[in-house]
Amino acid sequence: MTVIIQKEIHETFDHPVIGVIDCQGIDNIGNPAEIQDMLRRAEADARRMFSQYESHGLHPHLSAWRKAYKQFGADPHQYRCSAESLARRVLKGDSVPHINTLVDLYNYISLKYVIPVGGEDADAIRGDVQLAFAEGTEQFIRLNGTENEPPFKGEVVYKDDESVLCRRWNWREADRTKLTPRTANAVIVLDGLAPLNRAEMERVVRELSELIGTFCGGEQKGMVF
Protein backbone atom coordinates (compact mmCIF):
# COMPACT_ATOMS: atom_id res chain seq x y z
CA MET A 1 0.00 0.00 0.00
CA THR A 2 1.19 3.49 -0.92
CA VAL A 3 -0.09 6.92 0.11
CA ILE A 4 -0.43 9.18 -2.93
CA ILE A 5 -0.96 12.92 -2.58
CA GLN A 6 -2.50 14.57 -5.63
CA LYS A 7 -0.17 17.32 -6.84
CA GLU A 8 -3.03 19.82 -6.91
CA ILE A 9 -3.26 19.50 -3.11
CA HIS A 10 0.25 20.91 -2.77
CA GLU A 11 -0.50 23.57 -5.38
CA THR A 12 -3.74 24.73 -3.74
CA PHE A 13 -3.12 24.78 0.00
CA ASP A 14 -0.59 26.45 2.28
CA HIS A 15 2.38 24.09 2.52
CA PRO A 16 0.56 20.85 3.41
CA VAL A 17 2.76 18.34 5.19
CA ILE A 18 1.43 14.81 5.69
CA GLY A 19 2.82 12.31 8.17
CA VAL A 20 2.16 8.60 7.69
CA ILE A 21 2.93 5.73 10.06
CA ASP A 22 2.75 2.19 8.69
CA CYS A 23 2.12 -0.17 11.63
CA GLN A 24 2.61 -3.91 11.19
CA GLY A 25 1.96 -6.77 13.59
CA ILE A 26 0.50 -4.68 16.41
CA ASP A 27 -1.61 -5.67 19.42
CA ASN A 28 -4.50 -3.21 19.76
CA ILE A 29 -6.25 -4.97 22.63
CA GLY A 30 -6.47 -3.40 26.07
CA ASN A 31 -6.82 -0.05 27.79
CA PRO A 32 -3.53 0.80 29.54
CA ALA A 33 -4.02 3.10 32.52
CA GLU A 34 -0.86 4.98 31.53
CA ILE A 35 -2.46 6.13 28.28
CA GLN A 36 -5.53 7.38 30.13
CA ASP A 37 -3.25 9.31 32.49
CA MET A 38 -1.50 10.82 29.46
CA LEU A 39 -4.84 11.89 28.02
CA ARG A 40 -5.95 13.54 31.27
CA ARG A 41 -2.69 15.52 31.43
CA ALA A 42 -3.05 16.51 27.77
CA GLU A 43 -6.60 17.71 28.44
CA ALA A 44 -5.43 19.89 31.33
CA ASP A 45 -2.55 21.27 29.25
CA ALA A 46 -4.93 22.02 26.36
CA ARG A 47 -7.31 23.96 28.59
CA ARG A 48 -4.42 26.08 29.85
CA MET A 49 -3.02 26.61 26.35
CA PHE A 50 -6.32 27.61 24.75
CA SER A 51 -7.08 30.04 27.60
CA GLN A 52 -4.64 32.49 26.00
CA TYR A 53 -6.88 32.82 22.92
CA GLU A 54 -10.05 34.87 22.81
CA SER A 55 -11.50 32.04 20.72
CA HIS A 56 -10.09 28.55 20.24
CA GLY A 57 -10.35 29.04 16.48
CA LEU A 58 -7.60 31.66 16.68
CA HIS A 59 -5.01 28.99 17.42
CA PRO A 60 -2.70 29.14 14.35
CA HIS A 61 -3.20 25.47 13.49
CA LEU A 62 -6.98 25.66 13.69
CA SER A 63 -7.23 28.94 11.80
CA ALA A 64 -5.14 27.35 9.02
CA TRP A 65 -7.60 24.46 8.76
CA ARG A 66 -10.59 26.79 8.78
CA LYS A 67 -9.07 28.65 5.85
CA ALA A 68 -8.42 25.38 3.98
CA TYR A 69 -11.98 24.18 4.52
CA LYS A 70 -13.29 27.42 3.05
CA GLN A 71 -11.01 26.93 0.05
CA PHE A 72 -12.62 23.62 -0.90
CA GLY A 73 -16.14 24.79 -0.15
CA ALA A 74 -16.84 23.49 3.38
CA ASP A 75 -18.22 25.88 5.99
CA PRO A 76 -15.66 25.65 8.84
CA HIS A 77 -18.31 26.60 11.40
CA GLN A 78 -20.45 23.65 10.35
CA TYR A 79 -17.66 21.19 9.53
CA ARG A 80 -14.58 21.19 11.74
CA CYS A 81 -11.30 19.38 11.34
CA SER A 82 -10.86 16.51 13.79
CA ALA A 83 -8.32 18.45 15.89
CA GLU A 84 -10.79 21.28 16.44
CA SER A 85 -13.62 18.87 17.30
CA LEU A 86 -11.37 17.18 19.86
CA ALA A 87 -10.29 20.51 21.35
CA ARG A 88 -13.89 21.74 21.59
CA ARG A 89 -14.87 18.60 23.48
CA VAL A 90 -12.10 19.12 26.01
CA LEU A 91 -12.76 22.85 26.37
CA LYS A 92 -16.37 22.03 27.24
CA GLY A 93 -15.03 20.05 30.19
CA ASP A 94 -15.48 16.57 28.73
CA SER A 95 -12.81 13.88 28.68
CA VAL A 96 -11.56 12.12 25.57
CA PRO A 97 -13.31 8.72 25.62
CA HIS A 98 -11.46 5.43 25.38
CA ILE A 99 -11.88 3.83 21.94
CA ASN A 100 -8.95 1.47 21.56
CA THR A 101 -5.21 1.72 22.16
CA LEU A 102 -4.26 3.13 18.74
CA VAL A 103 -7.06 5.68 18.67
CA ASP A 104 -6.33 6.75 22.26
CA LEU A 105 -2.67 7.28 21.36
CA TYR A 106 -3.38 9.33 18.27
CA ASN A 107 -6.00 11.38 20.12
CA TYR A 108 -3.34 12.15 22.71
CA ILE A 109 -0.97 13.38 20.00
CA SER A 110 -3.73 15.30 18.23
CA LEU A 111 -4.66 17.12 21.42
CA LYS A 112 -1.06 17.75 22.46
CA TYR A 113 0.01 19.28 19.15
CA VAL A 114 -3.38 20.49 17.84
CA ILE A 115 -3.11 18.60 14.56
CA PRO A 116 -5.64 16.28 12.88
CA VAL A 117 -4.74 12.60 13.19
CA GLY A 118 -6.66 9.58 11.91
CA GLY A 119 -6.13 5.90 11.32
CA GLU A 120 -7.28 3.05 9.11
CA ASP A 121 -7.12 -0.72 9.34
CA ALA A 122 -4.63 -1.47 6.58
CA ASP A 123 -6.10 -4.91 5.90
CA ALA A 124 -9.41 -3.28 4.92
CA ILE A 125 -7.83 -0.83 2.45
CA ARG A 126 -8.20 -1.64 -1.24
CA GLY A 127 -5.28 -0.50 -3.38
CA ASP A 128 -3.46 2.72 -2.53
CA VAL A 129 -4.60 5.56 -0.30
CA GLN A 130 -5.03 8.87 -2.11
CA LEU A 131 -5.40 12.40 -0.77
CA ALA A 132 -7.24 14.09 -3.59
CA PHE A 133 -10.07 16.30 -4.76
CA ALA A 134 -13.20 14.14 -4.98
CA GLU A 135 -14.94 13.44 -8.25
CA GLY A 136 -18.26 13.48 -6.39
CA THR A 137 -19.19 9.94 -7.43
CA GLU A 138 -17.32 8.08 -4.68
CA GLN A 139 -19.14 6.17 -1.97
CA PHE A 140 -18.79 7.01 1.71
CA ILE A 141 -20.38 5.46 4.79
CA ARG A 142 -19.37 7.31 7.92
CA LEU A 143 -18.11 5.72 11.13
CA ASN A 144 -20.96 3.73 12.70
CA GLY A 145 -23.23 4.74 9.81
CA THR A 146 -25.19 2.76 7.23
CA GLU A 147 -26.18 5.30 4.55
CA ASN A 148 -24.08 6.39 1.58
CA GLU A 149 -23.06 10.06 1.95
CA PRO A 150 -20.92 10.79 -1.12
CA PRO A 151 -18.58 13.77 -1.14
CA PHE A 152 -19.27 16.79 -3.29
CA LYS A 153 -17.13 17.34 -6.38
CA GLY A 154 -13.98 19.22 -5.42
CA GLU A 155 -14.09 18.20 -1.77
CA VAL A 156 -10.73 17.07 -0.37
CA VAL A 157 -10.89 13.42 0.69
CA TYR A 158 -8.79 10.42 1.54
CA LYS A 159 -9.91 7.45 -0.56
CA ASP A 160 -8.84 4.06 -1.82
CA ASP A 161 -9.92 2.04 -4.85
CA GLU A 162 -13.26 1.18 -3.24
CA SER A 163 -14.56 4.27 -1.44
CA VAL A 164 -13.80 7.40 0.56
CA LEU A 165 -11.89 6.78 3.80
CA CYS A 166 -12.31 10.25 5.25
CA ARG A 167 -14.48 13.15 4.09
CA ARG A 168 -13.57 16.83 4.12
CA TRP A 169 -9.87 15.95 4.44
CA ASN A 170 -10.01 15.12 8.16
CA TRP A 171 -13.60 15.73 9.25
CA ARG A 172 -15.24 12.28 9.40
CA GLU A 173 -13.78 8.80 8.90
CA ALA A 174 -15.39 5.81 7.21
CA ASP A 175 -16.79 2.75 8.94
CA ARG A 176 -15.27 0.21 6.53
CA THR A 177 -11.64 0.78 7.55
CA LYS A 178 -12.09 1.79 11.19
CA LEU A 179 -9.56 0.69 13.78
CA THR A 180 -10.77 -1.98 16.20
CA PRO A 181 -9.16 -4.08 18.94
CA ARG A 182 -8.69 -6.77 16.26
CA THR A 183 -6.59 -4.49 14.05
CA ALA A 184 -3.16 -6.01 13.45
CA ASN A 185 -1.93 -3.72 10.67
CA ALA A 186 -2.76 -0.02 10.45
CA VAL A 187 -1.91 3.21 8.73
CA ILE A 188 -1.95 6.40 10.81
CA VAL A 189 -2.14 9.76 9.02
CA LEU A 190 -1.23 13.14 10.51
CA ASP A 191 -2.23 16.31 8.63
CA GLY A 192 -0.45 19.64 8.82
CA LEU A 193 -0.61 23.05 7.19
CA ALA A 194 1.61 26.10 7.69
CA PRO A 195 2.67 27.26 10.25
CA LEU A 196 3.37 23.59 11.07
CA ASN A 197 6.50 22.67 9.12
CA ARG A 198 8.16 19.47 7.97
CA ALA A 199 10.68 19.31 10.82
CA GLU A 200 7.90 19.62 13.39
CA MET A 201 5.84 16.95 11.66
CA GLU A 202 8.83 14.60 11.57
CA ARG A 203 9.25 15.04 15.32
CA VAL A 204 5.57 14.32 15.98
CA VAL A 205 5.63 11.26 13.72
CA ARG A 206 8.63 9.91 15.65
CA GLU A 207 6.90 10.48 18.98
CA LEU A 208 3.70 8.74 17.93
CA SER A 209 5.63 5.88 16.32
CA GLU A 210 7.52 5.30 19.57
CA LEU A 211 4.31 5.37 21.61
CA ILE A 212 2.69 2.82 19.31
CA GLY A 213 5.74 0.59 19.62
CA THR A 214 5.68 0.88 23.40
CA PHE A 215 2.00 0.11 23.86
CA CYS A 216 1.12 -1.98 20.79
CA GLY A 217 4.40 -3.63 19.82
CA GLY A 218 4.93 -4.57 16.20
CA GLU A 219 6.93 -2.54 13.71
CA GLN A 220 6.37 1.08 12.74
CA LYS A 221 7.67 2.98 9.73
CA GLY A 222 7.16 6.74 9.75
CA MET A 223 7.19 8.91 6.63
CA VAL A 224 6.52 12.58 5.91
CA PHE A 225 5.31 13.90 2.55
- pLDDT at residue 217 greater than cutoff 80: yes
* Alpha carbon separation from 175 to 110, 159, 221 (Å, rounded): 20, 13, 24
In whole numbers, what is the pLDDT of the chain averaged over residues? 97
pLDDT band at residue 131, thresholds of 50, 70 and 90? Answer: very high
CA atoms of 83 and 184, how far apart (whole Å): 25
Whether pLDDT at 1 is above 80: no
Residues 23-30 have a mean pLDDT of 98
CB-based burial label for 22 (10 Å; 0-12, 13-18, 19+): middle
Is pLDDT at 57 greater than 90 in this prediction?
yes
For residue 57, the Cα-to-chain-centroid distance in whole angstroms is 18
pLDDT number for residue 121: 98
pLDDT in tens, 97-130: 999 999 999 999 999 999 999 999 999 999 999 9
Distance set, CA 191 to CA 26, 82, 129 (Å)? 23, 10, 14
Q: How many CB atoms lie within 10 A of CB 41?
A: 13
> Which domains occur in the chain, in start order?
3-132+175-224 (3.50.40)
pLDDT, residue 100, reads 98
Q: Is 13 helix (H, G, I), strand (E, B) or coil?
A: coil
Residue 125 contacts residue 1 (beta carbons within 8 Å): yes
Burial of 146 (0-12, 13-18, 19+ CB in 10 A): exposed
Q: For the chain, what percent of residues have pLDDT higher than 70?
A: 100
